[in-house]
Amino acid sequence: MFNKNIIRFVVLVMFQVLVLNSLSFGGYAYPALYVYFILLLPFQTAGWVLLVSSFFLGLSIDFFTNSLGMNAAASVFMAFSRSGVLNLLRSKREYELSVSPGIKDLGLTWFLTYSFILILIHHTILFSIEAFSFSDILQTVIRIILSSILTLLLAVLAQILFYRQDKVQKSFV
Amino acid sequence: MRNVFIFLWKNHFFILFLFLEIVSLVLVFENNYYQGTVVINSTSDFTGGILKSLSNFGGLFSLKDANNILLEENARFRNRDASSFIKTDTNTFYVSDTLYQQEFVYVAASVVSNSTNRRNNYLKLNKGRRHGINKDMAVIAPNGIVGQVIEVSDHFCSVMSVINSHSRVSAKHKNSNQVGTFIWKGSNYRKGTLIDLPLHVPLQIGDSIITSGYSHIFPEGQLIGVVDDFRIEKGGNFYTVDVAFTIDYNKVFNVYVVKSLMRKELQDLEKLEDQN
């Protein structure tokens, strides 16, 4: 489980830096799929592991984008909000050891709500620090909303892709 | 003392959160504009190396575009070459010319990483201190200006792109030679904004906007873009001009770093002005 998360960390950082950072959606949206790592950390992850790994996740992105601290600040805030959001969305199925955050165990609606709230928190912090003024507030808000939707879409896509893969593997066994 | 520890342990999640958040924000405010820190400098050769191999790979797909841009430029140079002119006067001879002294030196570089989707966009180039690159040098492409160097490591340099909300370039309207300031507002990467252009300037859509050379960074007369639209802000005495870039910042591959040989002299002169 631990190894799986480390691999996910590295793969997401590489994917963000090598692929997503070079995409341009008319300059308005910036998909930050790397937060998918924070979304998918197991429920029983210790608080400090959650915070520290999110900090280094953000920092690794920052090193590649000349924005030292921005992604780190946003990721740490998102990690901090995670437990609150989880309590808010506590479903009928408790977050047991065997249950992992994802469409497979908790359903599409749960995953969409959970991810969207956290992604929105992350992007709000990120783009507010980036703009650092209220003068173009409308533009900042547009950037936040469009980017959040884009990131959410990519996260769901990733879920579906890997969910399918699990199924295929099981059928082979 | 025991209670303090119990308090710390109970709230360690929140305290760690505060600590990491403060560290991040300190990093943001210390480094955001001029990344002159040890941290970035020690890693930029590492991150630069990764980005360079990516660009080597990605470059394969854009070879055609890059070649076309260079071919066009070569054609322009060929037009200026002595061999493309016919000698009409057979009595000319050359003397050592003191009337002209070189002011700008061009160093060819290629782009290692680039972004257009942020509000503050930067590029990294494959030339650094070892190749004579310094802070505040201009970067231009064959068909427009790109930005200015803000940070140098041994093998790479960071360039603040023209499409960066901190970027300011002294620019002028080519037909009337009236000077304004060229900025980027952070939304559309195909369009910039020229401000502080006086109202009496006869503007027309399609007019060229070029660099003025007043900042001693960019050589004079480099094309920035063409007028796309213009208006007068409420209660203002100046035009706000939308300028469509002549260059697609998503497709910048080969650039020139421009070193101004006279810049230091001019700056020293300006320092003297301040003293008086």
- The reply to whether B41-76+101-164+256-260 and B169-247 are identical in fold is yes
Q: Is residue B149 a contact partner of residue B163, using CB atoms and an 8 Å limit?
A: no
The answer to whether the CB atoms of A51 and B13 lie below 8 A apart is yes
Q: Which range marks the domain in which residue A43 is found?
A: 2-167
Residue A172, in any domain of the structure: no
Show residues of chain A in contact with B30, CB under 8 Å: 68-69
A 10 A CB-CB count for B218 gives 26
Instruction: Classify B222 in phi/psi space as left (phi over 0), alpha (psi -120 to 50) or beta.
Output: beta
The per-residue pLDDT for range A44-69, each reduced to its tens digit, is 888 888 999 999 999 998 888 777 78
A173, part of any domain: no
List, for residues B85-107, the tens digit of each pLDDT value. 554 544 444 444 556 666 777 88
CATH number, residue A113: 1.10.1760
Residue-range domain boundaries for chain B: 41-76+101-164+256-260, 169-247
A144 Cβ contact list (under 8 Å, min separation 6): A120, A123, A124, A127
Tokens at residue B1, please?
């003392």
Residue A73, classified by CB atoms within 10 Å of its CB into exposed (0-12), middle (13-18) or buried (19+), is buried
What CATH number has the domain spanning B41-76+101-164+256-260? 2.40.10.340
pLDDT in tens, B206-259: 999 999 988 878 888 889 999 999 888 777 788 899 999 998 888 888 888 888
Which letter does DSSP use for residue A25 in this model? B
Q: What is the mean pLDDT of chain B?
A: 80
What ipTM was predicted for this assembly? 0.80
A26: region left, alpha or beta (phi > 0 left; psi from -120 to 50 alpha) = left
Mean pLDDT of A66-90: 87
Fold of B169-247: Thrombin, subunit H (2.40.10)
Rounded to whole angstroms, how far apart are CA atoms A24 and B249? 11
How many domains in chain A?
1
Over the stretch B155-202, which tens digit does the pLDDT of each residue have? 889 999 999 888 889 999 999 999 999 999 877 888 999 998 888 888
Residue A69, helix vs strand vs coil = coil
pLDDT at B94: 47
The residues of A whose Cβ lies within 8 A of any Cβ of B are 17-18, 21-30, 47-48, 51-52, 55, 58-59, 62-70, 72-73, 76-77, 79-80, 83, 129-131, 136, 139
> Measured between beta carbons, which residues in chain A are less than 8 angstroms from residue B188?
26-27
Rounded Cα distance between A67 and B166, Å, is 13
Q: What is the DSSP string of chain B?
A: -HHHHHHHHHTHHHHHHHHHHHHHHHHHHHHSSS--SHHHHHHHHHHHHHHHHHHHHHHGGGHHHHHHHHHHHHHHHHHHSGGGS----TT-------S----EEEEEEEEEEE-SSSSEEEEEES--GGGT--TT-EEEETTEEEEEEEEE-SS-EEEEEEEETT--EEEEETTT--EEEEE--SS-TTEEEEEEEETTS---TT-EEEE--TTSSSPTT-EEEEEEEEEE-TT-SEEEEEEEESS-GGG--EEEEEEETTHHHHHHHHHHHHH-
Q: With CB atoms and an 8 Å threshold, state whether B118 touches A52.
A: no
Instruction: Give the separation between CA B252 and CA A141, rounded to whole angstroms.
Output: 29
Residue A106 in any domain: the answer is yes
pLDDT at residue B98 in the model: 58
